[in-house]
Amino acid sequence: MQRVCLTALATLMTISATSAAAGETDAVSAAADALMAAWNANSPDVLRHFHPDASGYGGDGGVLGTIDAAAVEELVAAGYDVSLRLNQQHVRVLGDVAVSVGYMSGTISVPGAPTQQGTWRTTAVWTRLEDAWKLLHWHHSPLVSEVRSVERGPARRDDRERMDGPRERRRPDRDMGRQDGERDRPGAAMLVRHSVENFDHWTEVYREHERTRAEYGSLGSHVYRSADDANDIVVAVQWRGLEGALAFGASDALHAAMAEAGVVGEPQAWVFDTEHVRPVVDREGANIGGPSDFSLFVRHKVENLERWMGAFNEHGHMRAEAGSLGGFVLFHPHEQDDVIGFLGWESIDAAREFVGSPDLKAAMEASGVIDEPDILFLTHAYSTER
C-alpha cells in the first residue's frame, strides 16, 4: 500500500510549454495540474488520470509498480496527507506521446509509514487516450541531499551513527560559547514556535529532555519569549545534521514531551540546512552567532528571493541606524518565496519603532513582499547546551 501511494505520487508534474505543439503541451500541463490537485486534495479522483496499463518506479527503491484502484481508495479513506509543489518542469510532445521531466518537493504522509519529506527527480510518459492525456509510465528518485524518510520513535544507536557519524569522531560539544574551533559545526537549524500553558513548567520539561535531543544530534538551543505574550515561545536549535533534526521532529519522544510540557495547539516548525541560512551583519563587532537580549522575528512571502535579498542587503544601514545588530535570513531551497528574518536588536522599543516606520513599509513593497508579515518581538530567556 505504501509503495502504491509513494510511486503514484511521482506523477504530480507541471509542464513548461517548450514544444512547438503548444496546444498539446498545454493540454498535458492541464492534465498534470488536475492530477496534482486531486492528490493534494486527498481525492480518489486521481484514478481517472491514469492509463489502464499505467506502471512505474517509485522513490522508495522498489520494483515496478502498478495502479491498484482499491489500494488507492483505501489510502484515501485512511486519511493520508500530501503537500507537494512542482519545480523546473519541462515537457516534449511527440504525436500521441508526451515526456516530462522535472522535480517535485514537499511532504507525503501515509498512515503507518515513514513520512517522506524533500525533493524528487521526476520523469513521466503520457499518452493520448480518447482525446484526453493519461499517465502511462512514471519514474521518480530522491534528490539525495534533500529527501528524508523520518521514522516515528526514538533513534537507535546505529541510526544515530548513520545520521551523525561515529561518536568518537563527532563528539557532541556541551559548551555553546566555546571559541576554540573544537565545537562541531552545525549542519542544520530548526526554528519552532508554539504556545504553552505555563512557561516555567514547559522549561522544566524542556531541560529534562536535553539528553534526548543530543541523541539526535542537537548542538544546543536558544529559547525566546514574545514580549507581548510570555507563553508564546520561539526555540532556535542547532543540529549536527539535517537528517537528525527531521528525525527528532517526527519522533514519538518529541510529541510525548510536548504533551507533558503543556504545548497548546499545533506548533510551527521550520528546518533549514546551513546552505540556506544566510548571516546578516548590520553592525560591526556584533556577535551574530550568539543570542541577543532582544530580537525581531519576521516571516513573509516574496515575489523573488534574489530581488528581495538585494533590497534587504541595500537597507542594512537603515536597519543598523534603527538598532539592528544583525542575525540570519533563512529560506527553503525549493520554496524560496517563504523567508524568515531573525535579527538581534538593541531594544524591543527600538524594534517596534522600526517595524512601524513608513520607510520600512516602502522598502518592503519595493523589495517584492507580497503578504502581511508575521512579526514577533522576542526577549532571550536562556540557552541550553544540547
Same domain, 130 and 188: no
Listed residues 131, 149, 167: the one ending a domain: 149
pLDDT tens-place string over residues 218-244: 999 999 999 999 999 999 999 998 888
Last residue of a domain, one of 149, 166, 192: 149
Residue 350, Cβ density class (10 Å: 0-12 exposed, 13-18 middle, ≥19 buried) = middle
Give me the pLDDT at residue 62, please: 60
Q: How confident is the model at residue 14 (pLDDT cuts 50, 70, 90)?
A: very low
Q: Is the pTM of this model over 0.75?
A: no
| 139/157 same-domain check | no
Q: Are 225 and 121 within one domain?
A: no
Provide the domain limits for residue 286.
151-384
Residues 196 and 329 occupy one common structural domain:
yes
- Of residues 147, 305, 155, the one with CA closest to residue 217: 155
Give residue 297's pLDDT.
97
pLDDT tens sequence across 250-269: 888 898 999 999 999 888 88
Number of domains in the chain: 2
Please provide the average confidence, as pLDDT, over all residues in the chain. Answer: 79
Confidence of residue 63 (pLDDT cuts 50, 70, 90): low
Residue 233 pLDDT: 97
Q: For the CA atoms of 332, 335, 337, 343, what is the dihedral angle to 10 degrees?
A: -10
Q: Which CATH number goes with the domain that contains 258? A: 3.30.70.100
Q: For residue 379, which of 351, 354, 340, 337 has the smallest C-alpha distance?
A: 351
Are 80 and 180 found together in one domain?
no
Please tell me whether residues 155 and 282 are part of one structural domain.
Answer: yes
What pLDDT digit, counting tens, does each position of 310-325 carry? 999 999 999 999 999 9
Q: In terms of domains, do 114 and 227 share one?
A: no
Length in residues, the chain: 386
Is pLDDT above 90 for 299? Answer: yes
Q: In this structure, are 173 and 130 located in the same domain?
A: no
Q: Are residues 167 and 224 in the same domain?
A: yes
Quick one: 77 and 144 in the same domain?
A: yes
pLDDT reading at 56 higher than 90: no
What CATH number did the domain enclosing 81 receive? 3.10.450.50
- For the ranges 65-74, 118-127, 207-216, the lowest mean pLDDT is seen at 65-74
Same domain, 205 and 296: yes
| Final residue in a domain of this structure, among 149, 167, 184 | 149
204 and 194 within one domain: yes
How far from 47 is each of 35, 40, 134, 144, 263, CA to CA, in Å? 9, 13, 10, 29, 40
Tell me the sheet residues that pair with 300: 339
Q: Which of 10-19, 70-79, 188-197, 281-290 has the highest mean pLDDT?
A: 188-197
As a whole number of angstroms, the distance between CA 149 and CA 157 comes to: 17
